[in-house]
Amino acid sequence: MSAIQHTNSLEGLKALFTGTADHAVVYFAGNADAAGSSWCPDCNAAWPQVKAKAAQLGKDTLFVHCEVGDRPTWKDPKNEFRLDAALQLQRVPTLALFAASSLAHGKLPRPKRVLVEDQCNDAGLLDEFFDM
């Protein structure tokens, strides 16, 4: 797989959607501290399995680890990820799959598949999700 891309803003995420990948997978999680641990326990639990599945992706798939903010920023109803019309993100972690046909620079499409919270830590659901 190509390297994991990281961003912590909606604009940064949109900039990564260039239309050159066949698929894009985005893992939305709470911000991590210097030790790599998130304030979100479900994010911490899911990340090792999600990262292992991401490592199996081909070079034609963009994988993005997107941090949605610290706890107070995420809980704010005006958080940019909550307000985005296509995303309408309500829970973290969220794993979202975007189809190639919908990827265009500067525009965030609706996801094709989504897993949320403890679903992101379910091996069977992850297998289905990553079966592209």
Omega of the bond prior to 93 within 30 degrees of 0, cis?
yes
How far apart CA 131 and CA 37 sit, in angstroms, is 28
Reply yes or no on whether 66 is catalytic: no
Q: What is this structure's pTM? A: 0.92
User: For residue 17, which of 96, 88, 87, 106 has the smallest C-alpha distance?
Assistant: 106
List the structure tokens of 129. Answer: 């999700």
For residue range 63-104, what is the model confidence (pLDDT) as tens digits? 999 999 999 999 999 999 999 988 899 999 999 998 866 666
Which of 43, 46, 66, 108 is catalytic? The answer is 43
* Known active-site residue 120: no
Average pLDDT for residues 49-61, to the nearest whole number? Answer: 93
> Considering 40, 54, 114, 115, which one is annotated as catalytic?
40
Q: Which amino acid is at 88?
A: Q
Q: 31-42 pLDDT, tens per residue?
A: 999 998 999 999
